[in-house]
Amino acid sequence: MTSSGKEATITRSGRSLQVTPEVIEFRDIKQKYVYVQTISVRNLSSSARRVRFVPPQTDEFRLVTENLVSVAPGLTVYADVEFKAKKAQDYSDQMIVATEDMRFVVRLEAKPPCGLLEFQQIVPFGVVITRKTHTRILEVYNSGRLPAGFSFGRTAKVKVEPRAGSVEPNSSVEVRMELRVEEPAEVHELCTVSLDGHSQLVEQQRDVAITATVVNQSMHFHFESNPVSELHFGKVYHGKNRDLIATLLNDGPVPIAWNAQVMSDSAQGGEAAGILSPADALASGAENPIRVNPYTGVIAPYSHSSVTFTFAPKYHEQTKGFIHNMKPEEHRKDFHCVARISAEEFGQEIAVDLRGTGILPALNVRPDGLFFGECVTNDRRDIVLTLHNASAYAPLTFEISRIPHFSVSPSSGSLPPVGTLDVVVSFQPKKLGDCMGELLVRYCDGLYSRTVQCHGTCPLPGDQRCFTKGLEKTAKDFVPMHKYVTPETMALDLPNKKNFHSLTSIMKQDISKDFEAATALDTMMLDLPDPSPYALSPGQMHDFVRNKQKYNRYVKSTRKKRILEAKWGKDGKPMVDVDPEKFYGNDKDIGMAAGSGLKSPRLTVDDVVKDRLWLQRPMDDEAENRGVSGHHYHHDENKLLKKKFKAAPTTQAEVRDCSTILEAWQLGLISVGPTTIDFGQAYVKSAVTKSFSVFNDLPQSILVALTIDSDELSRSTPSSQVVPTATAAGFDLTVCALVPQTIHRHISYSINGHHQFKFLLRCEVTLVQLKLSITEISFRFSDDNLDRVLTESVILTNPGNAPARYWWSISNAAFKVEPSEGVVRPGSSVSCEVTFSPPTNGNLIEDYLSLKVDDGTDQTLRVLGQTPESSCAFATRRLELGILPVGTVIEKSTQVRNTGSTNGVFHVDQCPDGVTVTPARGRIAPEGTADLSVQVSLERPLQLDTVIQLSIRGGKPIRLPITALAVVPAMEIMEPEISFQAITLGGSKTVPFTIANASAVEGTCYINLQDYPEFTLGHAERRHGDESQIDPAALQPVSVQSYLAAIGGNDGAR
């Protein structure tokens, strides 16, 4: 019993009355049960009200209350409504609550067990876009006690699947509604739903309102607030980059997932160009200088996202040629790429032409070398170095490094296009001797460099200059006093004399012969400050130096002599003996054979040495030198790699390696695959996994990151991995969709965050399907078939990738399926047995067995069954067996007669305990009979009063009553004692005794004298005058086994 409805407040002329509930509803009623619902009436006015209840009109509803009750303000009066059903059907009535000035009708309803479908009657799609299928799920729930059916009508723009079906009690069915509109419009559709299995008191049809606002949506590409189809980077130096920031606009209500791919002009055409792998980038032979960041993203509804395009021409390295012949200002290399920005979900692609020109920085330096001549310390020499930017397109920065004894002013700056700047290079020596160095001129932000040779000589120390310091220093003191070098000022006109400024240089000269060396030695000795008591005088120093030089000469001469003796011996080098007979100055023949010892100037192929061609990187056909491992990796999408690597770099080396921009030949050493992953068909709500693998053959780690932005691939792991060198990493791609759909999309992935590629993923997501081996079964009994039922097999095959759970829904009891429910594993089959049990008439039975599949479509199996109608009867109305002893077998025959016109087949259905009917089944010809043997063996005394039932195939069952009385025979020995009295040893004596049977049935008596071999049992002699007959077979010996089998005891039983 349930009640429904909200509290109803009735207000009239300032007075109010509250009735709860306003509708009384009894659900799932049964016969002979009384249902009660209490109704309350509350007075909300400020004065007393007289309330009168008008009872229902039908007999099933009864009102229990006191009528004409006065209710004070704020108080409540109660009444009970009783209901008792006579039949299981719908009932409706009403009762009235009346006061002085108003009447309130309370509706009364009673419903037997039935189905009750509940679902939302408004399906709002909201704002959707054109040319795309939009799906909404409508859940139909059955809150009733019995199954209920539904059927959706057809609409012009909305597709409903499934259109019709049945919902079991306390379960639900998901109905998918799909909307697809090609042009903008306002959609207002009414879909009529017909209900089956409901109460007649509710509406049998309901309308579902479907509303949607369909608008156009697209993605737009803007640059500087204007729609453009191409971007020009202008002229950029090789090695530098230029960024252009564009904007992607979303003018619709749905988020747009996009991805961008930049391809060279030579790679255009075909689908393969859009899913370039690193190997394809190497095969294309073009190192793309234009990159996009980010290369994927999602634009929120009515919002925008920024995209940065970077043009970075590769650094140009000049490996040959002469500087004076090079003309870098004439170098020009044009690049043309196409950026494809695609929104695969919307089928939109924007192509943007990207153009840029790579130029070389042209810096002219004059003069090439700087020669400062002679300059003393504490002095300076200056030369003007001219820097000229020969490029007419872009400014050029420069920076000149400082080297010892040379300074540059200014040391850095920028040159405008075709601009010139004079730089002063100053030579300020800090030591004596030659000063040489190279000025490194770096330009174009340090990417390129040139060197300028600098040379100067400091022959003498200069005078120490006194500089103005402190507050006395004026502005002119801060200005350097340049002394520019001229040919006249390069030399200081100093006398040409040796520089004996150290004792080492004096020791190299012979002071006994070299006057300048002797004088320099004296001067050096006199300049010594504060000589110690142990210092030598100038004269003693002369003697010391001469002795030292003499010793050095002796050491040198003895060493030279030892070398000659080691080579030629003590005798020295042998003298050349010239024989005047063999050699004459005018003789042309000097003893040399023509051509002896000379090599032929003619070269042969065999003499050419086959040197190896050394390359910057090994070629692909040299497998032993290809990358680190030297082999090609085979990618298998069905092989999952268990080992996963870290998601991000952690060490400093990994961070450096994983942020490197790779060249084309390096990308060629990264093998990825497969480029197309086809999952085939997959069931909804099932997960199927395949592997996308990356093999890194570089000598460094790389970072590979997948971009997955769809719910169907949300279970894919991991999203990124740091792949070590010479190692393969696998990404497990898992597809799991909740609704049927066709997945055909590109998955983007990046290498080191700079190189973007894509691979294609395909999957057909379908509902769960089970294939029936047959769609129709016809059951027919043959003439020689005596079976009670017919059975046929149907094979359920699951061709999908996940288990399929099924169950059979059968409405006709004549058919049965075993097993009625189960699970079919993927790629396997299950056999179901369909059994037909003939009815009691010969009518043709046709039914459709419904095969229900979880998350799948229902299938039907058409079954037909028929058997000829038969009619049989027993020849006797009752089988009476009378009185029979317990433990004995009584057999009696009866006949079954075929009273119909067709063959009749019978089966023995039920027999009581102790009763056996043979044969258990048989066939009876028309107007024929069949004999049945009934055997009765009762093990205990009882009154048997039961029936034997035979089922007739195609007819009504027949019954034969059977009665019997089983009794135990009453046998006793009449003599109270058998006494042989005294008997001599070895003698024998016979004593008669009498066994009497007082019952109405025969009995068998067993006497066991096995433990008393001195006693024997035999027939008694006939007495005089006794006329009774003695049966010789009445007393017979039996074996121990027969005895035990008869009484069921052991050998010690009496």
Q: Are 203 and 278 in contact (CB under 8 A)?
A: no
Spell out the long-range contacts of 520-528 with Cβ–Cβ below 8 A and sequence spacing 24 or more: 521/545, 524/500
Per-residue pLDDT, 583: 47
Per-residue pLDDT, 584: 47
**pLDDT tens per residue, range 80-137:** 999 988 888 888 899 888 888 778 889 999 888 888 899 999 999 988 888 888 888 8
Per-residue pLDDT, 321: 65
Per-residue pLDDT, 579: 55
Between CA 48 and CA 55, with CA 50 as vertex, the angle to 5 degrees is: 150
1004 DSSP 8-state letter: -
Return phi, psi of residue 624, to 5°: -70, -15
Per-residue pLDDT, 419: 92
Give the C-alpha separation, 627 to 1007, whole Å.
106
CB count within 10 Å of CB 858 equals 14
Per-residue pLDDT, 176: 87
Per-residue pLDDT, 615: 59
What is the reported pTM?
A: 0.53
**pLDDT tens per residue, range 447-504:** 899 899 999 988 888 877 777 777 777 777 777 888 888 876 777 665 555 555 566 6
Per-residue pLDDT, 805: 92
Nearest 10 degrees: CA dihedral of 122, 127, 129, 135?
A: -30
Per-residue pLDDT, 246: 94
Q: What is the mean pLDDT of each run of 10 residues along the chain (1054 residues)?
A: 40 63 87 88 85 88 81 87 87 88 86 89 89 87 89 89 86 88 90 88 88 90 92 91 93 85 64 54 63 83 91 82 75 89 83 92 89 88 92 91 90 92 92 89 90 89 76 77 79 58 67 69 65 65 80 88 84 62 52 63 69 58 58 88 92 92 83 90 91 92 90 90 93 90 86 85 91 90 85 92 90 88 92 90 85 87 88 87 80 88 86 84 88 84 85 87 83 79 79 78 78 78 57 72 69 39
Between CA 736 and CA 742, with CA 737 as vertex, the angle to 5 degrees is: 115
Q: Are 262 and 339 in contact (CB under 8 A)?
A: yes
Q: Are 750 and 756 in contact (CB under 8 A)?
A: yes
Structure tokens at 1044: 């035990």
Size of the chain, expressed as the number of residues it contains: 1054
Per-residue pLDDT, 11: 43
Give the C-alpha separation, 683 to 770, whole Å.
11
The answer to whether the Cα torsion of 976, 981, 986, 988 is positive or negative is negative
What are the beta bridge partners of residue 421?
387
DSSP string over 681-726: EEETT--EEEEEEEEE-SSS-EEEEEE---GGGTT-B-SEEEEPTT
Q: Are 215 and 252 in contact (CB under 8 A)?
A: yes
- Please report how many Cα atoms fall inside a 13 Å half-sphere around the Cα of residue 527, on the Cβ side: 9
Q: Any residues with CB less than 8 A from the CB of 956 and at least 6 apart, and which? A: 840, 871
Q: Mapping DSSP to helix (H, G, I), strand (E, B) and coil, where does residue 235 land?
A: strand
Per-residue pLDDT, 87: 84
625 DSSP 8-state letter: G
How far does CA 464 lie from the centroid of its chain?
A: 82
CB count within 10 Å of CB 246 equals 19
Give the C-alpha separation, 378 to 723, whole Å.
61
153 DSSP 8-state letter: P
